[in-house]
Amino acid sequence: MKQVKIFPYSSIYKDGTLSLLKRNFAWMSRYSDEKLYSWFSPLAEYKWHGSTDPGDLPYRYGLVLLDGGNIVGYCGATYSYQNIEGRKHLYMCMSTFAVDKDYRFYIFPAVKELCASAEIVTDFTPRESMRRLFLERFHFQQMNSKQIIMFPVPSFSRRVSVEFISRAENIYDSQMQKIFADHEPYGIKCCQFERDGEKCCIFYSSAWRMRWKRRIPCWKKITVLKVVNSDLFARNLHEIVWKIQKHEGVYAEFDCDAAFIGSDFSHPLYIERPVYRLVYPNEDNAYKYDFMYSEFSMLKI
């Protein structure tokens, strides 16, 4: 008879969790424990600065499911404090889920435990089975279902000035300075734009995509994580996107959730891709999501 219990993740479960991940994700099984942990470690060791850091929470680094001494499940989570509508909220973003087949039933109490641990809970990369579970059983809301992928097309417009940030104090907004300081250790980048005295700030990640068998870098993927002043961004989309692509390398796709741009935008070459961004709860749609303080801003996804 199974005797499954829930425990907060800690470093004592590291080896068992890596073995679990390899059993449940084919691509992870190709890596050594050392290399896999270098990818996974931000979820297990993250720390934010100042008032954003949640401190000592029971499930600060997620939870594990134990059957006797064996790890049969892992549910990742990252926590932070967020100011929303002028009030401080404890925010949690679910990350990697891995549960052995014979123990999938225990996803229910695990998710229930995590949902009770924060005021706002999100999942930005749910598997289809988990998406249905969150929507139907836990009453999550779906915030966005479309990502815009823009390809390099030169823009010769010079209406917008750009500054790529190397030091947090160079950002015009003090709150954005704190966010950049928190995420710079994870390789997150920031640039700010200005047109006619109006400013826009964009946080993004960039990483090479590889052909697995040959491990050859093929193209660079830029992922937008947060936009401050999305109106200015949308009005000057082609010029801003090209300037970032040119800075990162012209063979770079530019991925941006439609929620960061709106429906009224113009770009000469793009496609749309379905994505699922979930939140619980989101009363009166007060929470407008971004990807800071989530797995998107910590892992190479």
Structure tokens at 295: 């797995």
Output the domain CATH number for residue 92: 3.40.630.30
Residue 223 resides in a domain: yes
Span 114-127, pLDDT tens digits: 999 999 999 999 98
Q: Of 82 and 219, which is predicted with more confidence?
A: 82
Query: What is the SS3 assignment for the chain?
Result: CCCEEEEECCHHHHHHHHHHHHHHCCCHHHCCHHHHHHHHHHHHHCCCCHHHCCCCCCCCCCEEEEECCEEEEEEEEEEEEEEECCEEEEEEEEEEEEECHHHHHHHHHHHHHHHCCCCEEEECCCCHHHHHHHHHCCCCEEEECCEEEECCCCCCCCCCEEEECCCHHHCCCHHHHHHHHHHHHHCCEEEEEEECCEEEEEEEEEEEEEECCCCEEEEEEEEEEEEECHHHHHHCHHHHHHHHHHHHCCCEEEEEEHHHCCCCCCCCCEEEECCCEEEECCHHHCCCCCCCCCHHHCCCC
Domain that holds residue 152: 147-275
Q: Are residues 69 and 12 in the same domain?
A: yes
Q: Are residues 108 and 214 in the same domain?
A: no
Q: Are residues 155 and 112 in the same domain?
A: no
Span 183-217, pLDDT tens digits: 999 999 999 999 999 999 999 999 887 655 545 55
Question: Residue 240: is its pLDDT beyond 90?
Answer: yes
**pLDDT on residue 284:** 59
**pLDDT on residue 283:** 65
Question: Residue 179: is its pLDDT beyond 90?
Answer: yes
Listed as own residue / partner, the contacts of 161-164 with beta carbons closer than 8 Å and 24 or more positions apart are 161/193, 161/194, 161/195, 162/191, 162/192, 162/193, 162/240, 162/243, 163/191, 163/192, 163/193, 164/189, 164/190, 164/191, 164/247
Residue 282 resides in a domain: no
Q: Which residues contact 20 (CB under 8 A, 6 or more apart)?
A: 71, 72, 73, 74, 98, 100
Query: Band of the pLDDT at 250, cuts 50, 70, 90?
Result: confident
Output the domain CATH number for residue 231: 3.40.630
Q: Of 251 and 1, which is predicted with more confidence?
A: 251
Residue 97 resides in a domain: yes
Question: Residue 178: is its pLDDT beyond 60?
Answer: yes
Residue 200 resides in a domain: yes
Question: Residue 18: is its pLDDT beyond 90?
Answer: yes
Mean pLDDT over 244-265 rounds to: 91
Q: Are residues 50 and 129 in the same domain?
A: yes
Query: Band of the pLDDT at 276, cuts 50, 70, 90?
Result: very high
Q: Are residues 64 and 131 in the same domain?
A: yes
Q: Are residues 87 and 154 in the same domain?
A: no
Question: Residue 219: is its pLDDT beyond 60?
Answer: yes
Q: Are residues 159 and 198 in the same domain?
A: yes
Span 125-174, pLDDT tens digits: 998 888 999 999 999 999 878 999 999 999 999 999 999 999 999 999 99
Query: Band of the pLDDT at 281, cuts 50, 70, 90?
Result: confident
Q: Which of 22-26, 31-35, 227-231, 247-251 has the lowest mean pLDDT?
A: 247-251
Give me the half-sphere count of Cα atoms (radius 13 Å) on the Cβ side of residue 104: 6
Span 57-115, pLDDT tens digits: 999 999 999 999 899 999 999 999 988 777 889 999 999 999 999 999 999 999 999 99
Q: How many domains does the chain have?
A: 2
| Averaged confidence pLDDT in the chain | 91
Q: Are residues 40 and 124 in the same domain?
A: yes
Q: Are residues 105 and 168 in the same domain?
A: no
Q: Are residues 242 and 193 in the same domain?
A: yes
Mean pLDDT over 245-255 rounds to: 90
- Give the C-alpha distances (Å, rounded to integers) separating 101 from 5, 30, 69, 72, 104: 16, 20, 17, 9, 6
- Residue 298 CA to residue 301 CA, distance in Å, equals 9
**pLDDT on residue 288:** 84
Question: Residue 229: is its pLDDT beyond 90?
Answer: yes
Q: Which residues contact 166 (CB under 8 A, 6 or more apart)?
A: none
Residue 281 resides in a domain: no
Q: Are residues 210 and 118 in the same domain?
A: no
Q: Are residues 55 and 113 in the same domain?
A: yes
pTM of whole model > 0.75? yes
* Boundary (domain end) residue, out of 97, 115, 142: 142
Mean pLDDT over 261-282 rounds to: 91
Residue 287 resides in a domain: no
Residue 296 resides in a domain: no
Span 34-60, pLDDT tens digits: 999 999 999 999 999 887 898 889 999
Give me Rg for the CA atoms of the chain: 20
Residue 216 resides in a domain: yes
